[in-house]
């Protein structure tokens, strides 16, 4: 297979992981930038209510985005293992099965998202003064949702082959266009939140087209031929095995965030704006661990396919050490400079107070959330995709929701919405640690 120059089964494993992670990190950084650009520009040009409208729907959009990112990651595990095993015929079938699934799902979710948006906002308890703007933003966002789905589908295939550079190039272009459009539509043409939504969907569709073009002109088994789009039953079974639990894992986390957002909504639009700003800032801080987890999934999957078990073990240890030290350092920075960071989004004193409260409660515990994300990637790479789904479902969804809608109803305090995250991060870290100790002994018996 011609993709061998990008294989992670040979060469210095530390160098391979780092070189693969760097483009992922920069790409995620630009993606976070254009997601945050909406909030920054909206908050400064349109005020707290518009910021609350955009921030308030972020947990909902993350639900759908997370599902398809998870699905593409799971599909990428299957493709990466086939590439590692040097099975060109099966790799091609998996690629075309994945793309066709992406097309079907993108169309379905675009329609569902657009028509269900009003009801979803009502279920979240969106305040009346924010609801009209949230509805406009969300419905326009869903009209271009197919672009985001196909971008993740195409990117998952490229990354499975060891190519993290080309998605970065296209994402940088898209991000810059998004930011420019945000400014032009809102600051120049005086549009409201619909301007931010239009800028977002245009940039997402553009990125999908660029990454798709790259796949069409790729070499080897990952090359995309539209006339070969069909479902291969065996590949579909494997993609569902790995993709569905990973997608569901992402979704259950976002479901809990939606329910937590409904709890936050009960404190009013200023709390929504402040905590939303803090969440946007945290998104940047989580980028290193998100990037490392994506790299670890590909690295472990390719090496498991090639039966390079010693490299798997060494790579896991290196991934933990580097990613967790980075994310904790960034958490400390957020803790120290939280007032300045939150004020970038909106300088209303109450908005800043809510944002700082959230940031300083969670900032020193980021190593825990980092561990859980890397552990999830390790589980997927080792062929255990259902385990992180179950662990996250219990720790990050059931526990959070259970606490907020029992204790939270008796003691209606914003501090509970802050502390529920570090508490559940601690719980998932303990469970993952115990589980992976047992899994590594059984899956990697050759490693001492």
Give the span between the Cα atoms of 425 and 292, in whole angstroms: 18
Q: With beta carbons less than 8 A apart as the criterion, state whether 56 and 124 touch.
A: yes
Q: With beta carbons less than 8 A apart as the criterion, state whether 269 and 315 touch.
A: no
DSSP labels, 310-375: HHHHHHHHHHHHHHHHHHHHHHHHHHHHHHHHHHTT---HHHHHHHHHHHHHHGGGHHHHHHHHHH
- For the segment 109-116, the average pLDDT, to the nearest whole number, is 91
Would you place residue 230 in the very low, low, confident or very high pLDDT band (cuts 50, 70, 90)? very high
Give the span between the Cα atoms of 442 and 99, in whole angstroms: 34
**Structure confidence at residue 2 (pLDDT):** 42
**Structure confidence at residue 6 (pLDDT):** 65
Give the span between the Cα atoms of 346 and 273, in whole angstroms: 8
- For the segment 300-327, the average pLDDT, to the nearest whole number, is 90
End-to-end Cα, the chain, rounded Å: 32
Give the span between the Cα atoms of 156 and 165, in whole angstroms: 12
Would you place residue 1 in the very low, low, confident or very high pLDDT band (cuts 50, 70, 90)? very low
Q: Is the pLDDT of residue 4 over 50?
A: no
- Name the least confident of 1-15, 73-87, 141-155, 288-302: 1-15
- For the segment 397-424, the average pLDDT, to the nearest whole number, is 88
Q: With beta carbons less than 8 A apart as the criterion, state whether 35 and 175 touch.
A: no
- Name the least confident of 55-64, 132-141, 393-402: 55-64
**Structure confidence at residue 214 (pLDDT):** 94
Residue whose C-alpha is closest to residue 371's, from 390, 391, 385: 391
Q: Is the pLDDT of residue 396 over 80?
A: yes
Residue whose C-alpha is closest to residue 97's, from 266, 9, 248, 224: 224
Residue whose C-alpha is closest to residue 253's, from 395, 363, 383, 148: 395
- For the segment 148-160, the average pLDDT, to the nearest whole number, is 91
Give the span between the Cα atoms of 24 and 147, in whole angstroms: 19
pLDDT tens digit sequence for 250-291: 777 777 777 788 888 888 888 888 888 888 888 888 888 888
**Structure confidence at residue 447 (pLDDT):** 44
Look at 276 and 198; give whichever has higher pLDDT: 198
**Structure confidence at residue 109 (pLDDT):** 86
Would you place residue 448 in the very low, low, confident or very high pLDDT band (cuts 50, 70, 90)? very low
Would you place residue 34 in the very low, low, confident or very high pLDDT band (cuts 50, 70, 90)? low
């Amino acid at each position: 297979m011609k993709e061998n120059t990008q294989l992670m089964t040979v060469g210095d494993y530390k160098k391979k992981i780092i070189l693969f992670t760097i483009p992922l990190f920069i790409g995620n950084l630009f993606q976070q930038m254009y997601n945050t650009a909406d909030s920054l520009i909206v908050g400064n040009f349109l005020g707290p209510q518009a910021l609350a409208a955009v921030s308030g729907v972020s947990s909902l959009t993350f639900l759908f985005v997370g599902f398809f990112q998870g699905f593409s990651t799971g599909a990428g595990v299957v493709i990466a293992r086939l590439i590692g095993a040097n099975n060109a015929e099966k790799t091609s079938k998996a690629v075309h099965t994945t793309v066709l699934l992406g097309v079907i799902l993108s169309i379905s979710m675009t329609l569902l998202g657009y028509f269900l948006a009003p009801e979803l906002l009502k279920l979240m308890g969106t305040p009346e003064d924010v609801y009209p703007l949230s509805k406009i933003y969300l419905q326009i966002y869903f009209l271009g949702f197919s672009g985001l789905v196909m971008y993740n589908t195409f990117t998952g295939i490229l990354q499975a082959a060891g190519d993290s550079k080309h998605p970065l190039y296209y994402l940088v272009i898209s991000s810059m266009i998004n930011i420019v459009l945000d400014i032009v539509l809102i600051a120049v043409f005086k549009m409201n939140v619909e301007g931010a939504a239009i800028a977002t969907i245009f940039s997402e569709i553009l990125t999908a087209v660029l990454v798709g073009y790259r796949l069409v002109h790729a070499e080897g088994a990952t090359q995309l031929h539209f006339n070969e789009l069909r479902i291969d039953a065996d590949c579909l079974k494997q993609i569902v095995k790995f993709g569905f639990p990973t997608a569901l894992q992402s979704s259950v986390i976002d479901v809990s965030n939606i329910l937590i957002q409904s709890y936050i909504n009960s404190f009013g639009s200023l709390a929504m704006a402040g905590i939303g700003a803090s969440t946007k800032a945290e998104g940047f801080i989580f980028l290193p661990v998100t990037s490392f987890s994506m790299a670890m999934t590909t690295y472990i999957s390719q090496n498991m396919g090639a039966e390079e078990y010693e490299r798997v073990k060494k790579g896991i240890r290196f991934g933990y050490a580097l990613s967790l030290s980075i994310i904790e350092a960034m958490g400390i920075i957020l803790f120290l400079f939280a007032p300045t960071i939150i004020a970038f989004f909106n300088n209303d004193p109450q908005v800043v107070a809510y944002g700082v409260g959230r940031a300083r409660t969670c900032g020193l515990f980021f190593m825990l959330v980092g561990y859980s994300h890397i552990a999830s990637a390790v589980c997927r790479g080792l062929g255990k995709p259902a385990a992180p789904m179950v662990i996250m479902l219990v720790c990050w969804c059931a526990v959070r929701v259970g606490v907020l809608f029992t204790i939270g109803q008796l003691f209606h305090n914003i501090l509970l919405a802050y502390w529920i995250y570090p508490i559940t991060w601690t719980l998932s870290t303990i469970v993952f640690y115990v589980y992976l100790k047992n899994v590594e002994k059984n899956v990697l018996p050759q490693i001492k």
